[in-house]
Structure 1
Amino acid sequence: MTIFSLSKEELSTPALCGLVADLMLKKGWLLATAESCTGGLISAACTDLAGSSNWFERGFVTYSNDAKVELLGVDAALIAAHGAVSDVVVRAMVQGAITHSKAQVAVAVTGVAGPTGGSRAKPVGTVWFGFMLDGQLSSEVQHFDGDRAAVRLATVQHGLQRLVQLLG
């Protein structure tokens, strides 16, 4: 299954959650999330689906740097050296979500949702994603357009789409 062959209806957040659920259940795996810029929206989208307790293990809302350190075990020196919105930090976040849960799969997001907080190096709409599936770690950066709500929604949808791709 390629995500690009899905219809617009299949790319909606509830439909994506349904696809993630089906794939997680087939593998017998549990999902954890570690969210900064989305403030728990990925977890909320997943748990909107009835029966999600069969595959959704837990979500960490680590909006502050202190929360990333305390709840996920992210090294504060990484945040100081690279900033919270960075590849090394999102990788540490996703590893922390796995370490501090019973999940085999995790997604982490950290970004600049705006309207303020952006810089030349990390403009508003910059979001780092981390994924861990059965011990395999990957990360990527995306740049989304729009206001705060649009960036956060695009982050949720992209995270779910990539989970579908990686699980499928």
Structure 2
Amino acid sequence: MTRTAQPLSISDLSDFARALHRQLPAPQPSHLSLLNMLARAAGFQNLQHLQAQTKPAPADSKRVEAALRYFDARGRMIKWPSKTNLQHLCLWALSAHLPQGPVNEREISALLDQWHLFGDAAILRRTLVELGLVSRSEDGADYTRRTPTPPPEATALIAALAAR
């Protein structure tokens, strides 16, 4: 009897591994061991090999174009977007202008004022912290830029603004 190939598309391998982990009887392999087993079952040497072969998703050009409308020719943010996903995308571009070292609240506000025209550095600071693009000290006195890997749209937006 021939077997029919059943394609399986998994959007998040880690979530898939967690769900599988909950269904396995004891003793269960660790999360990383299970991820490596799944990668080997798909024909890869291990999880790192799978990740190296996986190409990042292309940037959503419509979203990047929509975000670009919120910046002037000098790369300054003209107004605060009403849509949250555009706010977050625009803040990736603003965070690229911040220094790596710690700065106090007055300094970060002055830096942000150079890169936006609507006069609300407080909303920018708060949202940068919420997104994890900037960390704030326990006493709230110092801010430090963090460098998480930007999504493809943020990379494309930063490049488009730099080209202006």
Indicate the TM-score class for this superposition, using the shorter chain for normalisation: under 0.3
Per residue, is there more helix in 1 or in 2?
A: 2
Structure number with greater CO (CA < 8 Å, separation at least 6) is 1
Report the structure number with the largest CA radius of gyration.
2
Alignment TM-score, normalising by the size of structure 1: 0.27
Provide TM-score, normalisation by structure 2: 0.27
